[in-house]
Amino acid sequence: MPRKKILWLCSWYPNKLDHFNGDFIQRHAAAAALYNDIYVIHVAGDASGKITGIEKIITHSEGLTEHIVYYKKSSSFPGRLMSHYRWLMLSRQAIRQYVAEHGKPDLVHIHIPVKAGITGLWMKRKYKIPYVLTEHWGIYNDVEPANYKRKSVVFKRYTKKILKEASLFLSVSRYLAEGVNRLVTKKEFEIVPNVVNTELFNYKNKVLTSFCFIHVSNMVPLKNAKGILKAFNLLLLQKSNATLVMVGDTDMAIRNFARELGLTETHISFRGEIAYSQVALEMQQSDCLIVFSNIENSPCVIGEALCCGLPVIATDVGGIPELVNGNNSIRVVPKDEEALAGVMRQMMDNYEKFDRKKIAEDAQSRFSYPVIGKKIDEIYSRFATGKT
C-alpha cells in the first residue's frame, strides 16, 4: 500500500531543552514511520534564558521529519498570556509551512490534547482534515497530585472538545482510556501500547553472578523509590547476595536516603540519568525489574524490561496489570515495604520458574516497532482523507 502523509501535532516531544519530554511519543513516531511519512511539529517555550528569540530546527530520517520550534517566554502573568498567543501563532506558522511544502496531509495525529489539540481543531476547520487523538498523560485518577480534577476550567473545556471532535480516541492503556471516559466524556477507544526499541532492548546472557534487581525512573514521589530502598534493606537481612541498581536519579536526595539506611556500594549502585542505550545494557545485566509506584499508566520501562527477558515485580495499580501476567511477573500492593521485601525474596528463591527467553519473545511480539507501527498504519488506513 502507498505511504500516507501524516502530520503529528505533539504537546510533548523530546527537544534540546528536555531530552526526555515525551520520548515515548518519539518512539511511536519512529514505529509509525516504518509504514507512513510522519511529520512532527512541536513548539517549545523557554523561560530559562537559553532561548533568546525564535529558533527552528528541522531534522530528517527515513520516513520521519521532526520540526521543533523554540521561543522565549516569560514566567510573569502577562508573559504567560503572551506565551500562549506566541505558541499558537508559531504552531500555525509551522503547519502552514508544512502544507505549502508538502500539500495537505492525509490525516492529523494529535498526541496529548492540550495544547496541540487546539491547532488540531483549527486544522480541521481550515483544511477539512480529520484527526485522531492519542492520550498519554496519566492524570485521570485521584492519586496523581496534579490530576485532571485539579485542572482549570479552560483546560477541561478544551480537553473535552478536542476529544469529542477526534475521529478516533487512542490510549496506551485501557486504564487511562476508562479514566478519560469517566472524567471527561464518553468516547469509544482503541489501545495502542507504548513501543520498545527491540534493537536495544533484547535478551542477552547475563555476565554478572550476583542476583541484581534494577529500578528505572525519575524517582519522583509517586515512583516510591524510597520504599524500594526500605524493602531492599529488609531483604538484605536474609539475602546478603542481592544487589540493586537505581537508574534515573537527578539529585542527591535518594542517595542520601540510601546512606541513612546504611546501604553501601557493596549492595547498591546509582547510575543517574543515562542514555536510553545504556539503560538497555543495565537491564541486560540485571535479573529483575522493580516498579513500586503508587499509580502508573502504562510504564515504558516494563515493556523494555520484558523485551530483555527480565521478570518484573510491580505494584498492582493503574495499567500495569495490562502489561504483565503470572509468567513474567509478581505483583505487590503499593506502599507495603515488607510485602515488597517478601516478593523480592520469592523472586530470588523461585527464579527458575521464569523463562527469560520466552518472556523476551512474547514481549517483542507485543511491543516492537514493526508490530506497533503496523497497528498505527491500520488505523490511518481507516481514517485518512478520502477513506473515512
Whether 176 contacts 187, CB under 8 Å: no
Whether 192 contacts 170, CB under 8 Å: yes
pLDDT in tens, 111-134: 999 999 999 999 999 999 999 999
Amino acid in position 387? K
Buried b (16+ CB within 10 A) or exposed e, 99-112: beeeeebbbbbbbb
Judge if 77 and 185 occupy the same domain: yes
Any domain includes 235 = yes
Any domain includes 201 = no
Give the CA distances from residue 281 to residues 118, 201, 224, 300, 304, in Å, rounded to whole numbers and listed in that order. Answer: 40, 8, 24, 16, 11
Q: What's the pLDDT at 2?
A: 87
The residue range of the domain holding 301 is 211-367
pLDDT in tens, 28-84: 999 999 999 999 999 999 988 899 889 999 999 999 999 999 999 887 778 778 899
Residue 299: closest CA among 285, 282, 312 = 312
Q: What are phi and psi of 137, to 5 degrees?
A: -80, 120
pLDDT at 361 over 60: yes
Q: What's the pLDDT at 385?
A: 75
With a CB cutoff of 8 Å and minimum separation 6, the contacts of 109 are 6, 7, 8, 9, 32, 131, 132, 133, 134, 380
Any domain includes 162 = yes
pLDDT at 387 over 70: no
Q: Which residue has the higher pLDDT, 388 or 109?
A: 109
Any domain includes 205 = no
140: confidence class by pLDDT, cuts 50, 70, 90: very high
User: Taking residues 265-289, what's their average pLDDT?
Assistant: 96
Q: Which residue has the higher pLDDT, 237 or 388?
A: 237
pLDDT at 7 over 80: yes
Q: What's the pLDDT at 227?
A: 98
Q: Which residue has the higher pLDDT, 208 or 157?
A: 157
Judge if 150 and 72 occupy the same domain: yes
Judge if 301 and 276 occupy the same domain: yes
Q: Residue 156 belongs to a domain with what CATH number?
A: 3.40.50.2000
Judge if 235 and 351 occupy the same domain: yes
User: Taking residues 209-225, what's their average pLDDT?
Assistant: 95
**What percent of the chain lies above the pLDDT cut of 70?**
99
Judge if 110 and 100 occupy the same domain: yes
Judge if 289 and 249 occupy the same domain: yes
Any domain includes 203 = no
Q: What's the pLDDT at 326?
A: 94
Cell of 333: 500492593
Judge if 217 and 358 occupy the same domain: yes
Any domain includes 200 = no
Any domain includes 206 = no
Judge if 216 and 171 occupy the same domain: no
Judge if 119 and 249 occupy the same domain: no
DSSP notation for 198-253:
TTTS--------SEEEEEES---GGG-HHHHHHHHHHHHTT-TTEEEEEE---SSH
Give the CA distances from residue 218 to residues 87, 97, 222, 302, 344, in Å, rounded to whole numbers and listed in that order. Answer: 28, 36, 10, 14, 22
pLDDT in tens, 232-241: 999 999 999 9
Judge if 39 and 180 occupy the same domain: yes
Judge if 358 and 379 occupy the same domain: no
Q: Mean pLDDT for the chain?
A: 95
Any domain includes 202 = no
pLDDT in tens, 148-207: 999 999 999 999 999 999 999 999 999 999 999 999 999 999 999 999 999 999 999 887
Phi-psi region of 248 (alpha: psi -120 to 50; beta: other; left: phi over 0): left
Q: What's the pLDDT at 388?
A: 39
Q: What's the pLDDT at 202?
A: 97
Judge if 108 and 233 occupy the same domain: no
Please report where in the chains the cell 510504564 appears, as a residue. 299
- Beta strand 5-10 pairing with 37-46: parallel
What's the total number of domains in the chain? Answer: 2
pLDDT at 386 over 60: no
